[in-house]
Every structure is written in C-alpha cells, then in structure tokens.
A and B are shown apart, each in its own frame.
Chain A
Amino acid sequence: MQKTITKTLSVLTEDATSAWKALNGIICIYKPADVSCHRICNTIAYKISNELNQMKCRPCSDYIQIEGDPIKHLTVIRKENLADHPLVVGPRYDQKDVRCTWSNYLGFNTSGILLMGLQNGTKMAALIRSNKLMRSYRVKGLLGRATDNFYKDGKVVERTTMGFIKSHHIDHLLSSMQSSHQRKMFNATGVDLQSQTAYELAVKGQVRPVCSETPILYGIKCVDYKPPEFTIEVQCVNEYEMYLKALIHEIGIKLHSTAHCIGIQCIRHSYFNLDNALLQKHWTLQHIFDNMEECRKIINEHENLTKNNAIVIQ
C-alpha cells in the first residue's frame, strides 16, 4: 500500500478542435459495481462533450449581406452568422457525437477494469474483443446461504451449516475444477493428452476457443478464506457475469453446503491492471488523455493484443 503513483500530467491544449482530433484510442477505466456499461459510455461522452464546450471553440462563420438599391449603389456587409451561434444551434460538441464502446462487457454487478474505445479507437476495441484475451476476476462468496439469483440481492432460498468447511477443502475442490477445465480444452482440440503434439500445443501458449460462447477457466484458486466469506481468483476467457455467480453457487454445493456471490471484481484484462484504471472521479478530459497515452504504450508493446496468433480449437 506504500506504492505512490507519480504521473507527469501533460498540459492540455486550450483549443477544442485539436483536442477533439486527438481523441482517438483506448482508455482503461474502473467501472463501479451496480452501474451498467451503457450508462458509463453515456457519462464519459457527456463529460467529454461538456469539457470541450468549455474550451475555446470554433467561432461563428461569416454572414454576407448585400444591402442598398440594386440600381444605384450596393454595399456588401460581412456580419457574424447568427445561424451558427452556439445559443441558436446548440453547443458545438454534442454527447451523441462522441463514439464510445467497450471492448469487454462487464455485467451490472461487476466492478473493475473496463477497456473502452473512443472515436476511431472503437475499431481497436472491437479487435481486442475478438481476440478473446484472458481476464482475471476476484469473486467473493458467502457460505451458508443460497439465493434465487445466486447474488446477494436475491431472495434467500436455502440455509445450511458451514462450520465444517476448512480452507483445504476449498483448495482441493478448486484444483480439481481447474484440471478438469484444462483437460476439457485439450480434449476439444482432438489430440491425445500424452502425445508430442499436445506438448507442442502447450508450449506455444494458451489454447483458446474459437467461438465466443463457451467459457473456459485457465486458473482458479482461493486467495482468502475468512468463514463464512471466501474469495477466489479466476483466470478465464468468454466468461459472463451469471457464469461466475453460478460458479460460486456450484462451489457451495460441491462443498456440501450452499453459497452465494457477494461481489465480482475484474482485476486484470490481458496486460491492463488496476494501476492503469481511471477512477470515477478522474473521468475528466485531462486524465482521459493521459490514460489514452498510457494505454497506447501498452498496446504498442504487446502486439498480440491486436494480432491473434494463439492456438484455437477448431
């Protein structure tokens, strides 16, 4: 916790037009729980357009008017074109002008790292999404109670005892789950697990599913156990919120008890970790630009973010 982050902030230009043109790329933000991704997109777009409007914007265009009697003398007058005035046509930058999408969708109850593409960066965001990079989650569960939607806000449907569960029970269960997932992956490639080809596959890197429907766990372990709460860390691909909630429920049942999820946090997305993420209070233009620069460096360093060369299950 003693780690202090000192960042040199670049000085933001006063001109809104140049700031608008520079606004292309990926940003990494910290999504709070109980907010949807759509809403975060809208918030970011609103903040950006609002701040751009407060900067020096484009002046009104000219309005040329010809006055006088056409037979005698005509004078050409150049005036400010009021039809182009911000009070008449509205502010220069509108919220809807900012294109903004996420590269990995996080569910409503999930908090943590959310990569977002701004303007032309939305293409990059789509590319990162299609590459199915690994994400790490920290999922918290509470033993002893099962709810109807596997989450803490649901109705409690079952109560069980949990005093007999020790930390090594959870470790044992999780390691067997991890190995079964790994075996599932190699089975899907169609090679014998004891063969040379399987070894060569494993050397090349992680085996990834080609479709985006089947969730696959690469690693799962318990990082904290304070009965009745426990925290597991999951590395996975293609997961979705309900899958992780159901995972906790399943762990509860396998431990001969019940459990429900009390929190999901995405702590890592490929090469982006919590240090890069922008907190809600820092969603301002200045911080967004700094973060964009930081993310650009990471993307340039690791070409497998945008170029897919891992082994896929056909």
Chain B
Amino acid sequence: MLNMLLQRFKLFHNLRRLSHTQSEDLKQSFQTNNATCGEEHLPSDLQIVDNQTKYQSVLEECTDDISHVATYLKPTFNFAAYINKSRTLQELVKLNVDLSVLEKKPKVVPFILKLEFEKDVKNHVIFLSELGVENIGNFITKNPFILKEDLENLKIRINYLKSKHFTSDMITSIIPRNPIWLSTSTQDIDSKLGFFQREFQLSGKEVRALAVQQPRLITYSLQHVKLNTFAFKEEMGLRDDEVKSMLLKKPNLFMKLHTNLLKTFEFLHKKMNIPIERIVEVPQILTCRVFRIRQRHLFLDTLGRAQYNPRKPNYVPLIGLVSGSDVDFCRDIAKSSVQDFNLFLKSF
C-alpha cells in the first residue's frame, strides 16, 4: 500500500512541470508578453523574467501584469491538482472519462498529462463516434492507450475486419463492446481468430458469429482459454463437438475461472444427477455460482419437486432453476412462498 503511494507520488513529482507548460492560459500570457517585448521568438520562462528586469529598477513600481508568474505546482498524488488549469483534462471529464480510475495506473498518468486535446484527442473521439461508440468516456477509461494509436492504423484495422467479411453492423457491435480490440494489431487479431478457428474447427461464418457474440473473448488471454478447454475436455469429459456447441452458445464460459466451473459442474452432475448431454444443451447454467444452485436444489428437494427429467411429469427446467429472482423462483418453480424459502435458507 505504502509502496504504491510512494510510486504514485514520485510519478506526479516528476510530472509537475509538464502541466505548467501545458496550461492554455499560460501560453496565451506568453504570447501577450512576447508582443509587448517586441521579440519574435517565443520566450522561455527565464527570458520573461529577464525582460521585465531589464528596463525596470526594483525600486520602481511594477506596472506589468505578472500574475502568471507563479511557482510550479507542488508534488501531488492525483489529477485533481491539474484539472482546473488543463483544458485537455477538462474535456476528458466532459466526455465522462473516469480520471480517478486512470490515475491508479502508473503508465497511463504521464501519457494522459502529455496529451493535447485538439491534436491528440479530438480526431480519435470523432473517429470512435463514427464507429458507433456511444459511451466514449467508458471506452477511454477502459483503454486510454487508444489515443496513442495512429488514426491510419485504426483505419487499417477496420479495413482488415471488412476484408474478412465482417459487415459494418458487425463492426459497430464489436468495437464498442471491446475497447482493446482496436489497440490490437491486425497480425494479433488474425492469429487469435485463426486460433479459435483451428482449435474448435469453426467455419468462417461461425468465427464471425463468435466475435460478434463475445468480442472480448477474441482478445482474451489464450492461455486462459486453453486451460478452460482442457477443463471441459479432460476434467469434465466433454466431446469436441460438445465443446464447440458450448463455445458458440455461451462464449463467456471460456473467460470464467475453471475451478468455479468445475465446482458447479460437479454439483450438477454428481449431486443432481444431470447427464452431460443436458448440461451441454443449456451451457449458461455452468456460469451460476454453486451456492445458488445448491440452495434452490435443496429447497426443491425438501418440497419433493427436484425432478429434472423432461420425460417425466412435474419437470423443472434447468434455466428456470437458476434464472430470475427468488420471488419468481418461489412462485413459478417451487410453487411456494418466499418466506418459506427464507426460513429454509436460515437452516444451512
């Protein structure tokens, strides 16, 4: 904790000069001073002071505007010290960028402070809004380094998607939901799409459908995806085509922690005796936390309603078991009252 604070402190300490030269107000005052002094080049801080002292004795009354001469900002921990002077930061706040989140990342802070709105931010914002990104503030909060990328590069990445037969509708659905996509080079995107195609034997159409359904999975850590695939195939014993159908139905499963998936699977398969084929049909049930399934299953069990075989009467659908609030569950599935369910929960 203390180390982190120290690190941030040092960072802002080194950067405090930056904001001084960045400030728009100061620039204007430099220019006015420049005009009065009759010099052609832009003077540095020292020169301004020199010019004033050249013609005036210290004993004479000072008539020039020297309100801009001020000490540097003191070392600070956060953006708040700079915000009232820096136009770039103000514009970012107007865009709803959460600076309090950004200042916790040490690499982002120097980058953001060096930005100039007109030059570095404006065109990117226009470009993103044309791509259909509605909440630009959230987008930049998630991936501030999008502002570092060259616009030409971004256009090339969009063109790459078009060349791979992604329609413009698909692109406007992919880009806003995965802020990191545009920062990934075309080679990387290509290799990752290729990985999913090879690993799960997907057709071109299926790869595109996968990218639209869960864009974050494409740029997700491949090691994590491989680990989850291993858990599905070896630890749960699913066949290749079953894993593929799960990937296309619920791609989020490949981004979850495999230990949690295994716990839920074990409870479903061993305690509730649900065959693997049924679980593959409704893969979203694996995303449910174990305690929720256990509570509801045991409640149904005490009521004598835990019957998950669709061929027999009083069948409870697996989706209905995990979805909906407790009120809905008690009314529609358990045919009981919430008060009874709450009392039951207090017996665990």
Using a CB–CB cutoff of 8 Å, the interface residues on chain A facing chain B are 1, 3-5, 30, 32-33, 63, 69-71, 81-91, 111, 265, 274, 277, 279, 281
Contacts and interface: CB of A to CB of B under 8 A. Distances in A.
B65 interface: yes
A32 B67 contact: no
B345 A70 contact: no
Interface in B58-102: 63, 65, 67, 78-81, 83-84, 89-90, 93, 96-100
Contact of B346 (A63, A89, A277): A277
Nearest to B96: A87
Contacts of B67: 70
B13 to A, nearest CB: 18
Interface residues of B, number: 28
A88 B100 CA distance: 5
Nearest to A30: B346
Contact of B100 (A1, A3, A71, A87): A87
Given A69-B65, A70-B67, A87 B99 contact: yes
B252 to A, nearest CB: 23
Contacts of B340: 1
14 contacts: A1-B343, A4-B337, A30-B346, A70-B67, A87-B93, A87-B99, A88-B93, A88-B99, A89-B80, A90-B100, A265-B347, A265-B348, A277-B346, A281-B326
B55 interface: no
B100 to A, nearest CB: 4
B196 to A, nearest CB: 35
Nearest to B342: A279
A86 B84 CA distance: 14
Contact of B84 (A83, A89, A111, A281): A83
Contacts of B326: 281
B329 to A, nearest CB: 11
A69 B340 CA distance: 75
A41 to B, nearest CB: 18
Contact of B83 (A83, A274, A277): A83
Given A87-B93, A87-B96, A111-B348, A71 B80 contact: no
Given A63-B84, A87-B93, 9 more contacts: A3-B343, A30-B345, A32-B348, A71-B63, A82-B90, A83-B84, A84-B80, A85-B93, A89-B78
B99 A5 contact: no
Contacts of A86: 100
Contacts of A81: 84
Interface in B309-348: 326, 337, 339-340, 342-343, 345-348
Contacts of B65: 69-71
Contacts of B80: 83-84, 88-89
